[in-house]
Amino acid sequence: MSAERWWIAEAPVTFTWDLWYACNYRCSYCWWEMGGLWETLAKQHKLLPPAEWDAVWTRIYDRCGEARIEVLGGEPLLYPKFGELLRLLSAKHRLQVTTNLSPEPAQLERLLDPLSPERVHFNASFHPQFIGLQPFLERTQVLQDRGFDPGVLFVTWPPLLPRLEEYRREFVSRGYPFSAMIFQGDWEGRTYPEAFTPAEKAMIEGVMNHPTLKSAEVRYRLDRDAVIGKLCHAGRVYANVKANGDVYRCGQDAFGRRPMGNLFDPGFELLDAPKPCPYRQCSCLEFKYLDELLQAPQAAA
Ligand code: SF4
């Protein structure tokens, strides 16, 4: 894997990991917030010393080699001893952390001190309900000054859409890749993304900029094309880990299905072959593990 922009190239094995279910923000468009799920989910998460998580992920390293771990939450940076956890895990795996970047700049600097941009990448989610543009930019600047190359994420919640282009310009002019996360949920009695108007869809399409997946993103994420029956490598080269260690083939599988295993089980293994997708629609960017995209990524550009 090239050291340059390694977080964009597909890794041999990728895990998304809900580290825990706690956050200092309560964004109106957050899945956990819309579902009133914070309290229920928080009963599942484990507050473990970094060395215990390191032992679990070292076992994955011994079995699968270096993986890319996409660390999610809740807000990962607020997890106890998160800096130490990042330092330990990044010695074996490459980490991509999605964060609201809420800690003060001085705290961020301390967190970054022992980390290398070769091993850790940050996706900074801009949540204007809870932080202004200027304080957010101060924090992304800390990352940039230290050689990290953060991307900025923004949720296309209908009340925020009128400022989408203005925000995109602000970030791109400072050298930050800017990506839209498609809002999925209800707003003023309508269900999105289906309820976006053609003009809103065009605006969102205009900021979709995944280097290889843009047309697939429009098809599966915005237009919600069906994936049922298509061969998918989720579970083989990718899995979704919950905060209690349960592992699912993908995020869609986590809604009411039995996990394929648990990270704390020493015998845990990924699937050895792709399987057909049992779901009508695919959330997030996980459709990229469809056989049609993984086998011929150039066809999706
Ligand atoms: S296409 Fe999406 S929903 Fe279906 S198995 Fe693959 S990742 Fe899961």
Q: 231: which strand partners?
A: 276
User: Rounded to an integer, what distance in angstroms lies between the CA atom of residue 8 and that of residue 101?
Assistant: 21
User: Rounded to an integer, what distance in angstroms lies between the CA atom of residue 124 and that of residue 174?
Assistant: 14
Q: How confident is the model at residue 297 (pLDDT cuts 50, 70, 90)?
A: very low
CA 281 to centroid of ligand 1, rounded, Å = 8
Counting the structural domains of the chain, the total is 1
- Nearest CA to 75 out of 44, 30, 34, 35 is that of 30
User: Rounded to an integer, what distance in angstroms lies between the CA atom of residue 209 and that of residue 179?
Assistant: 7
pLDDT exceeds cutoff 50 at 301: no
Give the residue carrying structure tokens 């599942």. 44
Pairwise pLDDT comparison (6 vs 226), residue with the higher score: 226
Would residue 8 count as lying in a domain? no
Would residue 168 count as lying in a domain? yes
Q: Is the CB of 238 under 6 A from ligand 1?
A: no
The pLDDT assigned to 190 comes to: 97
Q: Is the CB of 216 under 6 A from ligand 1?
A: no
Would residue 35 count as lying in a domain? yes
The pLDDT assigned to 300 comes to: 40
Residue 140's domain comprises 14-209
Q: Is 150 helix (H, G, I), strand (E, B) or coil?
A: coil
Q: Which of 161-175, 248-262, 283-297 has the highest mean pLDDT?
A: 161-175
> Where do runs of H (alpha helix) occur along 129-197?
133-145, 164-173
User: Rounded to an integer, what distance in angstroms lies between the CA atom of residue 45 and that of residue 81?
Assistant: 15
Would residue 153 count as lying in a domain? yes
> pTM value?
0.92
CA 250 to centroid of ligand 1, rounded, Å = 6
CATH code of the domain containing 92: 3.20.20.70
Would residue 179 count as lying in a domain? yes
Would residue 282 count as lying in a domain? no
Handedness of CA 67, 175, 116, 241 (dihedral sign): negative
Would residue 241 count as lying in a domain? no
CA 216 to centroid of ligand 1, rounded, Å = 13
- Give the pLDDT confidence of 86-100 residue by residue, as tens digits: 999 999 999 999 999
Would residue 39 count as lying in a domain? yes
